[in-house]
A and B are shown apart, each in its own frame.
With several copies, the nearest count.
Chain A
Amino acid sequence: MLLPIDDAAVAECRAHAMAIATDVQRFIDRHTTVAIERTVLRAFGVDGADPDGVPLVNACVERHRAAGTLGRGIATFLGRRICRGATDAQEAAEAIAYGDELDDGEGGPSTEEVRRALIEPTRRGIERIDAARRHRDADRARLGVGGAPLKYVIVATGNIYDDADQARAAAQAGADIIAVIRSTAQSLIDYVPIGATTEGYGGTWATQENFRIVRAALDDEQDKVGRYLHQVNYSSGLCMPEIAFLGAVERLDMLLNDAMYGILFRDINPRRTLCDQYFSRRVIARAGITINTGEDNYLTTADAIDAAHTVVASQFVNEAFAHLAGLPDELMGLGHAFEIDKSIEDSFLLEIAQAQLVRQLFPRHPIKWMPATKHKSGDIFWSHRVDGLFDLVGVATGQSIELLGMMTEAIHNPYLMDRFIALKGADYVFRACRHLGEEINWKPNGRVVTRAQTVLAEAQELLGVVRAEGMFPAIARGVFADVKRPETGGRGLAGVVERATTYVNPILDVLEGRTP
Chain B
Amino acid sequence: MANPTGPTGEALHRKRPPHPIRAYGDRMGDGGVQLSFTLPVAAGGRAKEAARRFAEGLGLRSVLVTAMEKAGTEFTFFVVYGRSEVTLDFAEVEVPEVTTPEWTPKEVNTLVKERLGRRVIVVGACTGSDAHTVGIDAILNMKGFAGDKGLEAYPWFDAHNLGAQVDNQALLTRAREISADAVLISQIITQRDVHKENARAFIELARREGFRETLFLLGGPRIDHALARELGYDAGFGPGTRPQMVAGYIVERLLARKEGRP
- For the complex formed, measure the closest distance between the CB of A175 and the CB atoms of chain B, giving whole angstroms: 11
Residues of B near A379 (CB, < 8 A) are 66-67, 69, 79
CA distance A359 to B39 in the complex (A): 40
Partner pick for A420 among B26, B65, B71, B221, CB 8 A cutoff: B71
Q: Is A476 an interface residue (CB 8 A)?
A: no
Considering the complex, give the chain A residue whose CB is closest to the CB of B191. Answer: A202
B134 interface contact, C-beta 8 A: yes
Whether B66 and A415, one on each chain, are in contact in the complex, defined by CB atoms closer than 8 angstroms, is no
Q: Which of A158, A166, A424 contacts B69 (CB 8 A)?
A: A424
Q: How far is the CA of A417 from the CA of B26 in the complex (A)?
A: 9
Closest chain B residue to A266 by CB distance? Answer: B131
CB of B64 within 8 Å of the partner chain:
yes
B79 contacts A380, C-beta separation under 8 Å = yes
* B104 CB–A CB distance under 8 Å: no
CB of A378 within 8 A of CB of B79, answer: yes
The 9 closest A-B pairs by CB, nearest first: A169-B72, A378-B66, A185-B129, A379-B67, A420-B71, A378-B67, A417-B38, A415-B25, A172-B72
When the two chains form their complex, are residues A411 and B71 in contact, meaning their CB atoms are under 8 A apart? no
* With A157-B26, A379-B79, A411-B64: A416-B72 Cβ-Cβ less than 8 Å: yes
Contact A301 B134 (CB under 8 A): yes
Q: Which residues from B are CB-within-8-Å of A424?
A: 69
- A184-B129, A300-B134, A374-B134 known; A413-B191 Cβ under 8 A: yes
Q: Which chain A residues border B137 with CB–CB below 8 Å?
A: 301
Q: Which of B60-98 contact A (CB under 8 A)?
A: 64-67, 69-75, 77, 79, 81
Q: Does B32 contact A (CB under 8 A)?
A: yes
A159 at the interface (CB under 8 A from B): yes
> Do B26 and A415 have beta carbons less than 8 Å apart?
yes
B21 to chain A, nearest CB (A): 14
Q: Is B164 touching A267 in the complex (CB atoms < 8 A)? A: yes
**Which residues of B lie under 8 Å from residue A265 when comparing CB positions?**
131
Interface footprint category on B: 35 or more
CB <8 Å contact, B26 and A411: no
Give, as a whole number of angstroms, the nearest-CB distance from B243 to chain A. Answer: 17
Q: B121-153 toward A: CB 8 Å interface, digit per residue (1/0)?
A: 000000001110110010000010000000000
A424 to B69, CA, bound (A): 10
Q: CB-CB < 8 A to A503: which residues of B?
A: none
Contacts of A156 in B (CB 8 A): 26
Q: Output the nearest chain B residue to A167 by Cβ-Cβ distance.
A: B72
> Are B64 and A416 neighbours in the complex by a CB distance under 8 Å?
no
Given A185-B129, A267-B163, answer yes or no on A380-B67 (Cβ-Cβ < 8 Å).
yes
Q: Does A24 lie at the interface of the complex (its beta carbon under 8 Å from any beta carbon of B)?
A: no
Identify which of B25, B75, B221 contacts A410 (C-beta below 8 A): B221
B 176-205 binary contact with A (CB < 8 Å = 1; else 0): 000000000000011110100000000000
Q: In the complex, what residue of chain A is closest to B137 when comparing beta carbons? A: A301
Please determine whether A412 and B191 come into contact, CB atoms closer than 8 angstroms.
yes
Nearest CB on B from A326, distance (A): 31
In the bound complex, how far is the Cα of B165 from the Cα of A421, in angstroms? Answer: 33
CB contacts under 8 Å to A, within B1-49, are 24-28, 32, 34, 36-38
Is B189 touching A184 in the complex (CB atoms < 8 A)? yes
Q: Which residues of A contact B67 (CB under 8 A)?
A: 377-380
Other-chain contact of A201, B77, B189, B239 (Cβ < 8 Å):
B189
Q: In whole angstroms, what is the CA distance A162 to B239 when docked?
A: 31
Interface residues of chain A: helix, strand, loop or mixed (majority): loop
Kindly provide the distance from the CB of B44 to the nearest chain A CB, expressed in whole angstroms: 15
* B239 partner residues in chain A, CB cutoff 8 A: 378
Render B216-242 as a binary contact track against A, CB cut-off 8 A, 1 for contact: 000001000000000000000001000
Chain B: which residue is nearest A411 at the CB level? B66
Q: Is the CB of B32 within 8 A of A173?
A: no
A416 surroundings in chain B (CB, below 8 A): 24-26, 38, 71-72, 75, 77
Residue of A nearest to B24 (CB): A416
Among residues 249 to 293 in chain A, which have CB atoms less than 8 Å away from a CB atom of chain B?
265-267
Interface residues on A, range: 35 or more
**From residue B100, how far is it (CB to closest CB) to chain A in Å?**
22
B residues lining the A interface (CB < 8 Å): 24-28, 32, 34, 36-38, 64-67, 69-75, 77, 79, 81, 129-131, 133-134, 137, 143, 163-165, 189-192, 194, 221, 239
If A201-B129, A301-B134 touch, whether A417 touches B71 (CB-CB below 8 Å) is: yes
Asked if A188 is at the interface of the complex by the 8 Å CB criterion, the answer is yes
Question: Which A residues are CB-close (under 8 A) to B164?
Answer: 267
Chain B residues near A184: list those with CB within 8 A: 129-131, 189, 191, 194
CA of A381 to CA of B119, assembled, Å: 45
Q: Check: A65 CB closer than 8 A to any chain B CB.
A: no
CA gap between A172 and B75 in the complex, in Å: 10
A–B complex contacts, Cβ < 8 Å, 19 sampled: A158-B27, A166-B26, A169-B73, A172-B73, A173-B71, A185-B129, A185-B131, A185-B165, A202-B191, A301-B133, A301-B134, A374-B134, A378-B65, A378-B67, A408-B66, A412-B81, A420-B69, A420-B72, A424-B69
The CA-CA distance from A231 to B81 in the complex, in Å, is 29
| Contact call A380/B26, Cβ cutoff below 8 A | no
A131 to B24, CA, bound (A): 39
B26/A413 in contact, CB under 8 A: yes
Q: How far is the CA of A58 from the CA of B245 in the complex (A)?
A: 49
- A410–B79 Cα distance when bound, in Å, is 12
B189 pairs with A202, CB closer than 8 A:
yes
How many Å lie between the Cα of A457 and that of B62 in the bound state?
A: 50
How far does the alpha carbon of A172 sit from the alpha carbon of B77 in the complex, in Å? 13
A73 to B210, CA, bound (A): 50
Distance of A377 Cα from B66 Cα, bound (Å) = 8
Kindly list chain A residues whose C-beta atoms are within 8 Å of the C-beta of B191. Answer: 158, 184, 201-202, 412-413
A385-417 CB mask vs B (1 if < 8 Å, else 0) is 000000000000000000000001011111111
- With A410-B66, A415-B38, A424-B69 given, is the CB distance from A169 to B163 under 8 Å? no
| B133→A267 contact, CB < 8 A | no
* Minimum Cβ distance to chain B for residue A229 (Å): 14
Please indicate the chain B residues that have their CB under 8 angstroms from the CB of A412 in the complex: 26, 81, 190-191
Q: Which residues of B contact A157 (CB under 8 A)?
A: 26-27
Docked Cα-Cα span, A148 to B111, in Å, equals 48
Residue of B nearest to A374 (CB): B134
Report A400-459 residues with CB < 8 Å from chain B CB. 408, 410-417, 420-421, 424
